[in-house]
Chains A and B, each alone.
Chain A
């Protein structure tokens, strides 16, 4: 009897330990009470928010125009410190460091009048000289995101506060690009030989609304503080902090961060929560499948790429990978939300019969015991597909869809830095590249699809081994076309060519949801061509 008791007790203890484990793993975070003691952070008299905390924890580089990482989070952190001549709001370009600008009738000359009384964060005055210096210096040392190519423009200072840019050719996207170059102080940078390695405190002195107060590369944390002598609209937020969080949604629930991305399944939860606003992001970010046609003769066949396009069910990808929050890719690359999107472009849709027909015509008419298709030379349709570790599920969906057709993918996943290096070194057969900027000036099509030159600059974006003379010509033409209507026609035509050639496949543009604590801060805005609320500096400034 006693023995039985002992055993029973033993079993009970075991059970208890297991259930304790269960609760310690799952109990936390499911239903936490709101932190009622959260101090009211809004200063009534000034109506300035003390601090807005955002998800950080991954290093985006030192926020100078030369040392930030090329992805959006790095570039836009730098943008809080450095101003351009123009800025972007909900509808388009707005004046920023430039007080005014004039474009000559032939579209080649841009005269910017620079604002007076703009101060650098070290107290020096900013002048037209600094603007001239920035353009000259950046044509010698290209910035991480170079917008204006060397020799594309000549810069001169006119009078006290005017700068004249003269382009060698009229150029449709030049105004946009000129306006976005971050202006750097001449008195700091003129003696810097290697701007990429210049990581001093002075390197982060700009004219922007925020100063870098703290940065830790190891922890991926940043703290930006409002610059008191900022020339422009008053900052609504005194400090912006990027802090590491283990789980962003949990951190949001616990009020550690003030804004987070949420999945479709969480909409009902956050939509009814008081003080929380939910907005859907515009679809200006996208996943695309890129082919390395240069090193893979098989991929050079247009029909194979078309067959892949026919085999993919992009709607299913949106449904499963993004839980429905996204827009299927357009074969013409430009997303449907883009101002120059061509709705008439060839729509592939999933059509396995058509795909098979194309492959059989190409000679891939035999299937081996593993279900892999091959031609009479024994060339199999097997490819390595590289993805970022966060994109594995999308790759698995793609693999499932392509395996129907007898195309086999080996999925290789890597973390962000390795993945980006691979993109840069063109070390892949197929790669899923997720990135932003799809809403920008359609001149990016030229960067992506114009026949590769030895130009270092576009090495990340070019389609390797792809060549279409007709397309090249159109891409060149649209660049110099200043008549908007005519340019739109050309861009429409370019999209049709791209849809036919399939040099890459736009998989889908995620249009997920962002939730933020409106009771703490609600000044968030989207720029007209960008997908993020936290990137624009106008999100943190007083608006009229």
Chain B
């Protein structure tokens, strides 16, 4: 039974989480399930109207409807897919890309390292939101472009963290001896470096996904997302565009629920990120 120890170690990991971390994990799991089973979870379509406009939450429409009469629960459930996809898509792309660049920079050193470090310096001083807005406007509104643009601004942190870790690792004697036996760079990266930095990358992924989800919501809110998608940011965008929504009762469902969903997801990711960091780096635990 190869399977059992893995489950056991997963349970052990879970036990190391704080209470808030455990709650957060459960919340993420729930949101993930909602995203996966979105079409089965709501009896109403999320793209077209299924009732009269702006009905408050009732038995028919659990979370009410928006100004077009589209069921909000259906939109939020389907929007979870977009948020998670953007969040984890961006984070994976950025963490892997950044991680590999970091490894190369540290291991190869020399000119490559210098160029990459200067590039990172440039990216760090660049104000990301204005440039993201510019790029999103330039590439045109689509989900894929948003993931791309967000990744473009997210790889710096993982690259720096990984680089410093590798700089330390490559002086270790076991790496030195592997090198002397003729191990190729590729072999070293796959066999030694990636496994060593993977916990760090995991923390980065969690951190970055939280950021990316907020950024997607922000870009959608500014009208730079796919205008007809039903992402959480876009629901909020439409709600806030409704003239004087604060003076009507509509915000109590149209604005509140997508905002709540977004907040729960972000806060959960933050808690998990914090706990992971503590587990990965024992010095922080004390």
Contacts and interface: CB of A to CB of B under 8 A. Distances in A.
Interface of A: 7, 10-11, 14, 18, 21, 25-26, 29-30, 247-250, 253, 261-263, 265-266, 269, 319-320, 323, 389-390, 392-393, 396-397, 399-400, 403, 411-413, 415
A534 to B, nearest CB: 17
Contacts of B256: 26
Given A7-B19, A18-B267, A30-B246, A413 B251 contact: no
B67 interface: yes
28 contacts: A10-B19, A11-B20, A14-B20, A25-B259, A26-B255, A248-B243, A250-B244, A250-B246, A261-B243, A263-B243, A265-B248, A266-B247, A266-B248, A320-B68, A389-B227, A390-B241, A392-B228, A392-B238, A393-B67, A393-B238, A396-B68, A397-B68, A400-B49, A400-B68, A411-B228, A413-B141, A413-B223, A415-B223
* Consensus secondary structure, chain B interface: loop
Given A320-B69, A397-B68, A262 B244 contact: yes
Nearest to B47: A400
Given A389-B227, A413-B227, A266 B244 contact: yes
B242 interface: yes
Contacts of B243: 248-249, 261-263, 266
B43 interface: no
A21 B242 contact: no
Nearest to A265: B248
B251 A320 contact: no
A191 B263 CA distance: 62
B153 interface: no
B255 to A, nearest CB: 8
Nearest to B252: A26
Interface in B63-83: 67-69
Interface residues of B, number: 27
B53 interface: yes
B134 to A, nearest CB: 13
Interface in B14-63: 19-20, 48-49, 53
Contact of B228 (A262, A269, A396): A396
B250 interface: yes
A525 B99 CA distance: 65
B20 A10 contact: yes
B227 A392 contact: yes
A249 B20 contact: no
Given A10-B20, A14-B20, A393-B67, A263 B244 contact: yes
A291 B158 CA distance: 50
Interface of B: 19-20, 48-49, 53, 67-69, 141, 223, 227-228, 238, 241-244, 246-248, 250-251, 255-256, 259, 263, 267
A412 B69 CA distance: 22
A389 B243 CA distance: 15
A262 B247 CA distance: 11
A269 to B, nearest CB: 6
B263 A18 contact: yes
Going nearest first, the 3 A-B pairs with the smallest beta carbon separation are A249-B244, A413-B227, A263-B243
A432 to B, nearest CB: 13
A323 B53 CA distance: 9
A21 B19 contact: no
A14 B256 CA distance: 19
A269 B251 contact: no
Nearest to B228: A411
A400 B48 contact: yes
A261 B242 CA distance: 12
B67 A320 contact: yes
A249 B247 contact: yes
Contacts of A14: 20, 267
A18 B19 CA distance: 17
Contacts of A389: 223, 227
A72 B19 CA distance: 59
Contacts of B223: 389, 413, 415
Q: Which of B49, B228, B241, B250 has the most CB of A within 10 A?
A: B228
Contacts of A21: 263
A396 B267 CA distance: 32
A413 B251 CA distance: 25
Q: Which of A30, A269, A393, A412 has the most CB of B within 10 A?
A: A393
A30 B247 contact: yes
Nearest to A263: B243
A403 B228 CA distance: 14
Nearest to B23: A11
A476 B244 CA distance: 46
A413 to B, nearest CB: 4
A520 to B, nearest CB: 20
A325 B105 CA distance: 62
A323 B255 CA distance: 18
Contacts of A248: 243
Contacts of B227: 389, 392, 411-413
A400 B48 CA distance: 6
Nearest to B227: A413
Nearest to B234: A392
A393 B48 CA distance: 12
Nearest to A249: B244
Nearest to A10: B20
A222 B49 CA distance: 42
A263 B48 contact: no
Given A323-B67, A400-B68, 18 more contacts: A10-B19, A11-B20, A21-B263, A29-B246, A247-B246, A249-B244, A249-B246, A249-B247, A253-B247, A265-B244, A320-B49, A320-B69, A323-B53, A390-B241, A392-B227, A393-B68, A397-B68, A413-B227
A51 B141 CA distance: 41
Contacts of A399: 228
